[in-house]
Every structure is written in structure tokens, then in C-alpha cells.
Amino acid sequence: MRRHVVPLPLWLIALNASAGGHFDVDDAFTLDPGQCQYEAWYGRFGSEPVTDIHLGPACRVGPVELSVNIDRYSVPQLYGVVLGPQVKWTWFGQGAESRLAAAVSVGLSADVTHGGYTGGQVVLPVSWRAFDSLWIHANIGADWSTVTGERTGRGGLQGEFALNDKWSLMFERFRAFGFWTSRVGARYSITPLISVDVTAARSDVVGSPRVYVIGLNHEFKAP
């Protein structure tokens, strides 16, 4: 088994990130009543590549958003599947005109192919519309790793700047599993309900490779 060639912070983040899609800083909003969505992405890093393929369907159920996170990860000579449920509740500022919102998100995860620890995550996201074109998202919370079982704090900030009705730029700086990481990216809205993200991230750990991710988001009316 060659899993130890993977830098530990990026390995942990790849297997446990679920706060805001493949972004590690989540916004404080949930789907509108009667709406569903799916998030899908592909991530890769390292010269002996670590990959993660993710599918995350979600629907608004009453006052909360319920989702399931399914990830297939692989490193040389090893692969597995991590899955688990997640619930998110926007308890303040859910309205479309709100400039300030707050939520709580709780998720569980388990590596169903290799056993090990049941992981989890609790996040308190806050979103502030500083300008018409700029959202600031802040998170504080904790992770329970499916790799080590250790509980660690997490937190970070993200800026989301809309260039126009099609293009947005994002930058986030966050701490998870004891390590700081930065991510930059762009989002293109194909329609108001379908968008594509492309991002790159890197940990502060010396020698860590960049993580590249491409993602698809699609919102639709519940059947």
C-alpha cells in the first residue's frame, strides 16, 4: 500500500471536505422550498495522483436541506468510497433580499470500503453581502476524520465577487485538520440554475502539490 506518499493534510482534506461542495468555506444559504440540486466534481493532485470523484444530491425538506455526499477516492494501489448524510438549516436571513444570513450544517461520513472511523463535521456558516457584487462567507466548526478519528477545529473566510451575471471569482483561506490552505477559483453560470466551477488549492505545508478541481452544480424543481 502506497497511501503514505500523499501529503497528510491534503489527503485528509480530500477525504473529509464537505462543508461547501468542494469549497471548504460554506455559505449560509439553503435551497428554496420545492427545489433540489446535485453537485458533482472531479479533483486531482500529486505526481502520483490522488483523485476524488464526488456526487452530492440534495433537496429542501421542510425547513432544512438534506443531502448525501458520495466520494470515490483513489491513490496508487488503493481506492475506496466515503459516503454519509448531511443536514443544513438556515436559521437567520433565508430571504432573497437578506444581506446577512447564518446557518448550521451537520454531516456524517464513513469509508464503506475499508471500515475505519466514522467521521463527521459541524459547521456554523455566516454570509454577509458587503456590496451588491461581493459576498463574504465565514465558517467556524469542527471535523472528525475518517482516517485518524481525531477531532480538529476548522474555520475560514471566503470572498465571492460577481464580475457580471455569468462570471464570479472566489478566494478562500481556511484551516482544517491543523493545516492552512488557500483556494482560488472561477464560476461560470451557464443558466441561472446550472454553473461550472474551476479551482486550484494549495496547503502551506512545504512541498504540498496544488489541488485542481472542476465541478458542476445543477438546481431543479423537486419531482
pLDDT tens, 143-160? 988 877 889 999 999 999
Average of per-residue pLDDT values in the chain: 87
Cell (9 digits) for 19: 462543508
Q: Is the pLDDT of residue 15 over 60?
A: no
Please state, in angstroms and rounded to a whole number, the distance separating the CA atoms of residues 4 and 11: 9
What is the tens place of the pLDDT at every residue in 66-99? 999 998 888 777 888 888 999 999 999 988 789 9
- Is 201's pLDDT higher than 80? yes
Cβ-based neighbour number of residue 168 at 10 Å = 19
Percent of the chain with pLDDT over 90: 60
Task: Give pLDDT, residue 20.
Answer: 63
CATH T-level assignment (fold) for domain 3-221: Porin (2.40.160)
**Residue 103 clears pLDDT 70, i.e. is over it:** yes
How many Å apart are CA 54 and CA 70, to the nearest integer? Answer: 6
Which three cell numbers, joined as nine digits, stand for 137? 462567507
Q: What is the DSSP string of 87-142?
A: EEEEEE--STT-SEEEEEEEEEEEETTT---EEEEEEEEEEEEEETTEEEEEEEEE
pLDDT tops 60 at residue 39? yes
For residues 174-191, give the mean pLDDT.
Answer: 93
Distance set, CA 150 to CA 6, 143, 176 (Å): 18, 8, 12
Higher pLDDT, 121 or 95: 121
User: What's the confidence (pLDDT) of residue 155?
Assistant: 94
Domains of the chain by residue range: 3-221
Q: What is the pLDDT of residue 26?
A: 93
